[in-house]
Chains A and B, each alone.
Chain A
Amino acid sequence: DTEVTQTPKHLVMGMTNKKSLKCEQHMGHRAMYWYKQKAKKPPELMFVYSYEKLSINESVPSRFSPECPNSSLLNLHLHALQPEDSALYLCASSQGSLRGGGNQPQHFGDGTRLSIL
């Protein structure tokens, strides 16, 4: 079992649907991350939140909208996705602020496997 919980584990949606991915951690971490991972590829960073504020957006298309309601929760809202958005979406967290957080390991959830029809 991981300390970062992601729901749902699997999601199939049409290109016109709106859905949300959820991530939760109770380790007191103040930095949280969204990654996208295609099959047999490394994770690619999408967003970073530090103390509930968006710190890094890696030029992600606006059809992906992150939200950090509190220090334990991270959401990724999905709308009008394309077939190429099918992937494993991973959430991670780490201690401290970004300035100090870079020397701390990241803790990953098991991801949401997303399929776009």
Chain B
Amino acid sequence: SQQGEEDPQALSIQEGENATMNCSYKTSINNLQWYRQNSGRGLVHLILIRSNEREKHSGRLRVTLDTSKKSSSLLITASRAADTASYFCATRAGGTSYGKLTFGQGTILTVHP
């Protein structure tokens, strides 16, 4: 099955509300990364959290990692219409997988003005 499953698949909110997306994975990881993809564009790196970290912040973004549950969450606070995009978690496995990233199925976020 797919490493990095995300839920919800789609999320629709109003501007100013918070958006929370979850990601689960199956194997041990070295780090977990979150990316954003606007329609028709490439992916943009948002934040990286290492396996020995539990929480990380970057501006309006907050990421948590629970390695015991093999899950992560991305919280976007005070959302804006410009946050409308697809969001993907990506895991880098431990061991000899080196730089290979495996992406989750993604969450489509729509923020209504």
Residues of chain A having any CB pair with chain B under 8 Å: 2, 4, 31, 33, 41-45, 48, 50, 55-56, 90, 92, 94, 98-99, 101-103, 105-111
In the complex the two chains form, what is the Cα distance from A88 to B16 in whole Å?
32
Q: Are B105 and A98 in contact (CB under 8 A)?
A: no
Residues of chain B having any CB pair with chain A under 8 Å: 4, 30-31, 33, 35, 40-45, 48, 50, 88, 92, 97-106
| From B30, B35, B43, contact of A103 by CB (8 A) | B30
Residues of B within 8 A of A50 (CB): 98-99
Closest to A94 in B: B99
Residues of A within 8 A of B45 (CB): 105-107
| From A43, A44, A45, contact of B43 by CB (8 A) | A43
Residues of B within 8 A of A99 (CB): 98
Residues of B within 8 A of A105 (CB): 33, 45, 48
| From A48, A102, A106, contact of B30 by CB (8 A) | A102
Taking the closest CB of chain B, its distance from the CB of A87, in whole angstroms, is 13
